[in-house]
Structure 1
Amino acid sequence: MSKRTIITNKAPNPMPYVFPQAVVANGLVFCSGSIAMDPSTCEIILGDIKDHTHQIIKNISAILEAAGSSLDNIVKINIFITDFANFSQLNEVYVQYFKGSNLPSRTCVAVKELPFDTDIEIECIATL
């Protein structure tokens, strides 16, 4: 099996000595967890979970593009949120990007906390 790592400056740098933004292997792109960081400052953007979800999806889109894929090729999404009271707001943004009959499979779980005290993290798997 051959694999290659993906790093792009169009998405936040994810501690490159610990993990890459994504790994491509066997025709799949495995994106590491993304949080709502601004790529130019590597700081969490201001705003609520809707703003954070938009930023994360923009970051994931940039990573997938660097790998030769796109949001349309996502087959599995895992979402981690710190408060299920935000579930409907998350979904309001989610359906702007993922709709129709070609939806990826999805898991959403509540967790105690996330890096940088943020409220949401998303990881995914896409095809090339």
Structure 2
Amino acid sequence: MGDSIATVLTDQAPAPAGHYVQATVCGGMVHVSGQLPVRPDGTHAPEVSFQDQARQALDNLLAVVRAAGSSPERLLKVTAYIVGVENWPQFNSVYADALGDIKPARAVVPVPELHYGYLVEIDAVAAVDSK
């Protein structure tokens, strides 16, 4: 009756704070929930710079991707929600530093605000590494 659905939970990213999981895996695909720049231990620092927030959110996203049996090279689609379109160039810079030559499909969506006063949230879809 179709593929089973597995959920992902790693302590290398913050635990879900609501009615969701870090990621689901089904049919060879990983769907990662939006990752805020919350530290893996669950502590918050919304006052840090946009660049630091973007790095933390990407670190969280990539930790979940790896825990799901995938890798940055297998990212298919990334969506970033950023507060303030003026932060777009900074996001591009942090994103390029984090992913290097890896260039999945991507959307950057300016939004008026995010939970806890953060400035960035990132979700993604990736393919599971073939073994």
The TM-score with structure 1 as length reference comes to 0.91
Letter in 1 for 2:125: I
What secondary structure sits across from 1:23 in the alignment?
strand
Deviations 1:84-126 (A, max 9, x none): 01110111111112343x5100001111211111101000000
The reply to whether residue 117 of structure 1 matches residue 121 of structure 2 is no
Q: How many pairs does the alignment contain?
A: 126
Alignment of 1:66-85 (within 5 A): 66-85=67-86
1:46-125 paired onto structure 2 within 5 Å: 46-100=47-101, 102-125=102-125
What's 1:13 paired with? Answer: 15
Equivalent-residue separation in structure 2 for 1:69 and 1:46 (angstroms) = 31
Cα distance in structure 2, aligned partners of 1:44 and 1:32: 20
The alpha-carbon deviation at position 15 of structure 1 amounts to 2.3
Runs of 4+ in 1 over 6 A off after TM superposition: none
In structure 2, the CA distance between the partners of 1:45 and 1:112, relative to structure 1 (3 Å rule), is closer
CA displacement at 1:58 relative to structure 2 = 1.0
Contact 1:33 1:123 in 2 (8 A): yes
Q: CA deviation at 1:42?
A: 3.2
Does the residue aligned with 2:20 lie in a helix, a strand or coil? coil
- Give CA deviations for 1:22-75 in whole Å, capped at 9, x if unaligned: 000110100000010111133236521111111111111111111111111111
Distance 1:22 1:41 in 2: 17
Identity of aligned residues (%): 31
Query: Separation in 2 of the partners of 1:14 and 1:62?
Result: 14
Aligned-pair Cα RMSD in Å? 1.4
Q: Is the 8 A contact 2:46 2:117 kept in 1?
A: no
User: SS of the counterpart of 1:20?
Assistant: coil
2: CA distance between counterparts of 1:30 and 1:41?
A: 21
* Whole-Å separation in 1 of the counterparts to 2:52 and 2:106: 20
